[in-house]
Chains A and B, each alone.
Chain A
Amino acid sequence: MSSVHEEFLQRIEFSNEEIKSIMPYWEHTCRLLGLNDKDVRIAIDEWIGKYWDMSLKGVRQCIGAYVRELIELVRMKEYQQNGAKILYCNMPTHPACLLSNKIAGGDRLHIAHPDWLVTSVMSAFFNKPVTSEVEDSFAMNPSCRHCAMNQFRIMAQKKQIITNPDAYWNWGLCCNEGPKTEEMIRCLGNDDWHYVLTTLPHDVMNGAVEADDERRVEYLARQLQEAQKKISKYTEIDVSETEVIEAEKQYFRYLQKVDDLTDIVSFSDPQPIGGNDLTLFSAPTALAFDTGFHYLEEALDTLIEEARERVQKKEGPLPAGSPRLACHFVPYCVPWIAEEFKDAGINLSINTFFATAKDQMKYNDEKDIYKKIARQWFCNPCAVNLGNEAKLVVDRLERYPVDGVLYGFFSFDRWIGSLQKMLIKTVEERAGIPHFYLEGDFFDDSSCAFQDKKARIESIGYHVKIRKLINAGD
């Protein structure tokens, strides 16, 4: 047993017994993903400790939950050989849809968001983005930027890093690249690549509240239901409404706890935990783990308690009164960004993308479970038309006190990136707080050198602090 791996797993709260049983699988995972002993050593000594608040047990447990899920993903080949079915999905999704399959299938079915999981773990915890290898192997190079998740999907399939699924549920919805990637995988010679698309037409009036638009809600609900039927044909596991209801309950319980944490972070001064750490817990509200919410929830409960303790002691990464910036989605895969803002005296704070719980609660009385899921999904800013998105974001910025908003990191993305710059101006005017834009790639910092961003972050810091000085007189 290699001591560096043991040390790593201990550091992220694996028990000694679990380490013994899981070590062969973890070492196999490292081999497949090209993580050598040196990489793991650097992660322990330099990367994780520097960019993640490892003094918090909840954070350590959460990283453990991600790693546990990654090991599960790599083990899916073995599960498949033993007769289990594999269902993959891209991110973001409504977790209940995938999770209900797991609840129905138990050990006969395993679920994963491999693209998101691998790109997140490799970038956030090991600083080894997966995209550079793809760029060497395929036509998806920097001149033709693509989402790292789509890039990884192709690479993983071609290199057989992870097993091919029995079905891939593609939540294309607003994304036109995701579905094309499935086509490309087929064109590359994999006729057995079975995928089911869930998409939405772009035919809603700008500004319409989609969660209240009966026609739209009905359409998505039936799309999801139909997609589930197709998925069940591939997996041979029927999913009843009872299982979907149970999955939604589990999801919503976790979401509410993330909402509690978001409130603690937003309404306490000093801000008790940093934006990266908060996002680690927020991201799984848009996807489902094969291990369910169990490990995540355990970590979240721990972190909420730790955050409350910090609030009582008036502790936090930065002193009271430090400005805070909301983000669309804190770029936790490039964790030095948040750290650099911290050095400039600025907290990265809430994710407007994930602060959906209070909006989703409005639809708790919806009886049709698929319509409920559709309405909840339409509370996600990135899931709706630009006018609706602006309204959702403004509502969140009015709810949570922040000194500005940081956008960017998605210029490669045909879905989010193209709309962000348009959105900024609208939201800025309505919310009355400045919006800043930082070019970069959410999943891969190799396209944005530290030196290139340092001065820019400092300058955003000056601007925010100037405004804070001015507004202090109000």
Chain B
Amino acid sequence: MARSRVLDSKNQIIDVAFSIVDKDGADDLSTRRIAKELKVSTMTLYNYVQNVEEIKKEVLIKGVNILFASIYEKMRNCDFNDANGGGRMAAYCRAYAYALFEFAGKHKSITRYMIGEGKTHYVNEAELRPFYHSFDVFYNKRGLSQEESADIEKKCKMFQWMVLSMIHEYIDNIYNMSEEEVKECINLYISKMLCSEQ
């Protein structure tokens, strides 16, 4: 017999899992805890998901969804010829960094998982790869020579490393930067590394 379904959708599980990771970190995520919070049996969860790994991946996908909605909004409202300069690549770098900091401010534990263990596990999963490799739009495209592509890739990677290091310090309370400091730092990098050659 097909098993009965008592939840409306898998989303209910993911929402609860997201809250658990957000509050207590990914290590505390278990099917038992999710089931308890949803007031269903553990076995019920397996009608909707295969295992806890799938839930963790879905938590990341949900985080990425929120993040990219924010990046899109920032890009959509962006004046690509504004005084800060740097064109579309600089605009994307700013939108990416600002959105990530905003997200980290609201979801520290989720961010830690997204850029730490979660990234290590799922960076090449088909569902998540386009988001983790979003900067490839600048260097993985036709018309660029190998050297140009490699050069842009290096710049993008360095930018991501810088932003992620700052995020790590921010979420681990090593250095509590203000929004202005973050923006200043990012804009300085962009002006030195990207604008000079565009």
Residues of A that sit less than 8 Å from B by CB: 132, 135-136, 141-142, 407-408, 420-421, 424-425, 429, 432, 434-439, 449-452, 455-456, 458-460, 462-463, 465-467, 469-474
Contacts and interface: CB of A to CB of B under 8 A. Distances in A.
B62 interface: yes
Contacts of A471: 137, 141
B126 interface: yes
A429 B71 CA distance: 24
3 pairs of A and B residues whose beta carbons are closest in the complex? A437-B126, A449-B9, A459-B65
B176 interface: no
Nearest to B142: A432
18 contacts: A136-B2, A407-B126, A432-B140, A436-B127, A436-B130, A449-B8, A449-B9, A451-B11, A452-B10, A452-B14, A456-B65, A456-B127, A458-B65, A459-B65, A459-B131, A466-B75, A466-B92, A470-B89
B76 A469 contact: yes
B110 to A, nearest CB: 15
Chain B interface size range: 35 or more
B140 to A, nearest CB: 5
Main secondary structure of the interface of B (DSSP, over half): helix
B2 A439 contact: no
A408 B61 CA distance: 15
Given A136-B1, A459-B64, A470-B137, 14 more contacts: A135-B2, A136-B2, A142-B2, A429-B140, A435-B126, A437-B126, A452-B14, A459-B65, A459-B68, A462-B71, A466-B72, A469-B75, A470-B92, A471-B137
B86 to A, nearest CB: 11
B175 interface: no
B144 to A, nearest CB: 9
Interface of B: 1-3, 8-11, 14, 47, 61-62, 64-65, 68-69, 71-72, 75-76, 80, 87-89, 92, 124, 126-127, 129-131, 134, 136-138, 140-143
Contacts of A142: 2-3, 47
B10 A463 contact: no
Contact of A424 (B65, B126, B131, B141): B126
Which of B62, B69, B124 has the largest count of A CB atoms less than 10 A from its CB?
B69
B68 A463 contact: yes
A313 B141 CA distance: 33
B126 to A, nearest CB: 4
Contacts of B143: 474
A450 B131 CA distance: 22
B64 A466 contact: no
Contact of B2 (A132, A407, A455, A473): A132
B135 to A, nearest CB: 10
